[in-house]
Amino acid sequence: MSSTKPIGIFDSGVGGTSIWKEIHELLPFEKTIYLADSKNAPYGKKPIQEIINLSRKNTEKLLGMGAKTIVVACNTATTNAIRVLRSNYNVPFIGIEPAIKPAALHSKTKAIGILATQGTLTSDLFHQASELYSKEIRIIEVEGHGLVELIESGKRNSNRTKSLLRNLLKPMLEHSIDYLVLGCSHYPYLMPVLKQILPEDVQVIDSGEAVARQTKVVLKKSNLLSSEKETKPTPEFFSNTNPEVLASLINAEENKFKVSHLDF
């Protein structure tokens, strides 16, 4: 596998661009291809086998585009499908899981909140991580029902989104959480609204930076880090629905990024 080939990234829609941004910032000389499977968003309430099938479909599309490694920029797909992907395809996979560990280790109130999709909260991988840290920490899990759909439709800063978030966060705040873990790659796009709702002493954690660092580690270990140090390649973005929301999230026009519709 050539080190000049692209990093492939997929998510159940546009949210994984929050992960892409961290990777692009840390590894600016790596070519990246992003797939937004918005047609099938959200993955959170789908049966496990369907999540696996969609993840395989996205993986095979990226491999067909020459991807040297694949970032599963979706919590639900990671927790339900990454083991299957790793056993069926001969490229490195990097997943994304809720950052329970740092929140649990640093919490002073001994209470943390986790906002995630149903598919993540009910997965075996999530339960294993949650049980590991819930012995001394109270973990308040809340399903972010409806949030992905609002973000996918470009309504992340709407009054409806603010009202929904207030209701979702209420049980967490009643238990005096001091950390909120975002367990879906879409949710970092809610930060402006979260800052309006959350008390100043509540810290918000997502997995983006950690995933970027792990991507670099995996590429280096596999001898796949790009040797290019002069010309920054232009990233490519593909959506299987209207690409306008995707384009707006990454400021495509300003950054001169290519965003295309692709049926996959």
Spell out the residues 6+ positions from residue 256 whose beta carbon is closer than 8 angstroms to its own: 234
Instruction: Please measure the distance between the N-terminal and C-terminal CA atoms of the chain and give it in whole angstroms.
Output: 24
The number of angstroms, rounded, from the C-alpha of 189 to the middle of its chain's C-alpha atoms is: 11
Position 258, amino acid: K
CA distance 171 to 32: 39
CA distance 114 to 141: 5
Q: Is position 74 annotated as part of the catalytic site?
A: yes
CA distance 187 to 206: 8
Checking DSSP bridges between strand 93-94 and strand 111-116, what pairing results, if any?
A: unpaired
Please, are residues 79 and 119 in contact by the beta-carbon 8 Å criterion?
yes
- Catalogue the E-assigned strands of 78-210: 93-94, 111-116, 138-143, 179-183, 203-205
The active-site residue, picked from 72, 74, 181, 198, is 74
The active-site residue, picked from 14, 33, 91, 184, is 184
Tokens at residue 136, please?
């001394």
Q: Is position 184 annotated as part of the catalytic site?
A: yes
Active-site residue set: 74, 184
